[in-house]
Structure 1
Amino acid sequence: MEPRNLTAPRTATDKTTVLNEFREVILGIACLMVATKGEVELAEAYLGISLDEFSLGMMPRDFRDIIANVDLGKFHAARQISAAFDFAYQQGSALARTAFSNDDWNDIALLVESASRCSFGGEPTPLANEDSPLRRTLDMAIARMRLKHGFALTIRELALLADIGEGAVRTALSGEGIKTEGKPAKVSAETAEPWLRRRRGFIPTLELGDEGSASSRTEPVSLFDELPFELALQALMERQALDTEMLAEKAAVPLPWLQRIIGGSHAECDIASLRQLAEALSSDVPSFVGRAIETLLRREPR
């Protein structure tokens, strides 16, 4: 087995790059479907695109252009990865920086450990590369959650959060007389947090008080700037622990109509009902209704 690369200070990345790399991961999952089930149609239905140019032994050169047509709105994990990005790098509004939940943590950790490392033609997916923007983002989000909940951190996790290389972490720990424990080497959260706060590249994790809850009508607006409408809507529902039936009842809107909206199907542009949805979700009404109308109009058959 080849030794893994030591984590280096991060280079600038953006959410679009991270989500595009997630497309490569789900392409790898589709490849696994073809390899194990032998049904290309199943993989095509999963991705929502044709795989005519792909085979187990070949990856087309323009595969990234092809998979750019994969609709991430179909994938629940895309919303979680978007939240992981904001949480990991502590970017965006206060709501965005704190939206990554314990359930998201569990799901993302499962994705990192179990999703495909290899794709068509033997092409590695971004999860196989610890320095890929996607892998760094997800590992950093997990590291923040581990620190928040009092778990010991590995050298790599400290390096990600402090934005320095692993060698620099080891040198700094040794210079300060801080001992690691176990294999892989870890530092307790009680020691790691004050150590991180002394590092210039560390951004402390924002903690919202009671007054900064998700009930603010101004904070959720940014979700609709960052995510497809369906994912942003699902994120707002999750933050209030509402399923589709509960939201329909709270907003007093028809359940079948709401199911079509959430499911990505054609639905009527009922402005009054859209306004009731926005109010039920404590979202900014003009922004919510505007994005909803735009989304529903684009779904109309031509």
Structure 2
Amino acid sequence: MFDELRTIFLFEADHVLISSGPKKAEAFIGFPPGEKGEYVHEATSKVDLSLFANITASFERAYEFAFNRSRLNTFGEEEVQDLQAFMEGTPRIGGISSAGEMHRFMTPDGYCRMVADAALARWKLEWAGDDSAKFTTRELALLANMSEGAVRMAISDKSEGRLKTIPGSKPVAVRFDEAKRWLSGRRGFIPWPERAADDRFLTRAIRDAETPKVLARLVHQVAGFESADKLARKLGWKPADVQPWFDGTFVFDADRAGEIAKALQLDVPMFVGKALEVTLRATEGGRS
């Protein structure tokens, strides 16, 4: 995906070169055009994505949001439309002297296009708050991690569990409730984990934590980045007793660790054991 994103910027640099000249193009992409006087054939490795940090970070968060659904996802709702607008604004043709260059990113099979569309589909399914939303076969295929052909086969199936479409819809569309029902039975679909303990990506992150600060950062994230006051009210604690579990300065207490885990719906034995482990590492190994 990131290599393709670099390619998009090379094509965009050629557009800047055509419209504003080499100085503006170099200011945009970070280096002058090559021997052919255009950017489209330059190595993608020359593109520094830190120059385009905002959209690069949005694509990274969108990928995790769409395909690795977890409470660790930080993709923002406003970014859904940003990615759609970005992809609609990408060049449809590239090059200068060799005008007519095409690339995969211009097609529905482009990696960036798929991530943007999958994020939109996931947003419609979970965040839009609109049960009148409709889903295309492409969106269902992206969410279920299967081909559109496989989705069409599910539609043409004659069994009771077939995927039912909206009669007469063109292009073919599926209602919100039906999309949720059908996706729930697809092996490739990753649903929103209802309990933190069921979130395999979060579980892995907790198991991999090696310092109190890393574990505390995860606790704060699972708590929805709420203030210590809110979690304290849920626990019946003082806010001052919760704050160390948010900033990594907590002193290990098995009962307290267990209460935190229960309040956040985490696996209690795993969390208590990890809290002890990172505390010992910090005490004996100097890791904080």
User: What range is the shorter-chain TM-score in?
Assistant: 0.5 to 0.7
Higher relative contact order (CA 8 A, sep 6+): 1
- The aligned length equals 200
Question: Do structure 1's residue 204 and structure 2's residue 191 form an aligned pair?
Answer: yes
- Alignment match, 2:71: 94
Go from structure 1 to structure 2 and tell me whether the alpha carbon gap of 1:185 and 1:195 turns closer, same or farther (over 3 Å shift): same
Match among 165, 168, 173 for residue 147 of structure 2: 165
Q: Unpaired runs of 5+ in structure 2?
A: 200-211, 226-242, 250-288
Question: Do structure 1's residue 185 and structure 2's residue 162 form an aligned pair?
Answer: no
The letter for the 2-side match of 1:182 is: S
Aligned mates of 2:247, 2:47 — CA distance in 1: 28
Q: How do 1:113-192 and structure 2 match up within 5 A?
A: 113-120=88-95, 121=98, 122-148=100-126, 149=128, 150=130, 151-175=133-157, 176=162, 178-180=164-166, 182-192=169-179
State the TM-score, normalizing by the size of structure 1: 0.57
Aligned mates of 1:166, 1:117 — CA distance in 2: 24
Go from structure 1 to structure 2 and tell me whether the alpha carbon gap of 1:102 and 1:152 turns closer, same or farther (over 3 Å shift): same
**Secondary structure in 1 aligned to 2:46?**
coil
State percent identity of aligned pairs.
30
- Partner deviation per Cα, 1:8-34 (whole Å, 9 max, x = no partner): xxxxxxxxxx11110111111111112
Query: 1:159: how far off?
Result: 1.0
**Secondary structure in 2 aligned to 1:45?**
helix
- Alignment match, 1:12: none
Q: How do 1:236-275 and structure 2 match up within 5 A?
A: none
Aligned mates of 2:216, 2:109 — CA distance in 1: 31
Aligned mates of 1:117, 1:81 — CA distance in 2: 20
Higher radius of gyration, 1 or 2: 2
- Alignment match, 1:14: none
State the TM-score, normalizing by the size of structure 2: 0.60
The letter for the 1-side match of 2:16 is: M
- Alignment match, 2:34: 52
- Alignment match, 2:209: none
Equivalent residues of 2:11, 2:94 under 8 A apart? yes
Go from structure 1 to structure 2 and tell me whether the alpha carbon gap of 1:207 and 1:43 turns closer, same or farther (over 3 Å shift): farther
The letter for the 2-side match of 1:140 is: A
- Partner deviation per Cα, 1:271-295 (whole Å, 9 max, x = no partner): xxxxxxxx9xx7779xxxxxxxxxx
Go from structure 1 to structure 2 and tell me whether the alpha carbon gap of 1:168 and 1:20 turns closer, same or farther (over 3 Å shift): same
Aligned mates of 1:82, 1:54 — CA distance in 2: 32
**Secondary structure in 2 aligned to 1:183?**
coil
The letter for the 1-side match of 2:77 is: N
Equivalent residues of 1:108, 1:138 under 8 A apart? yes
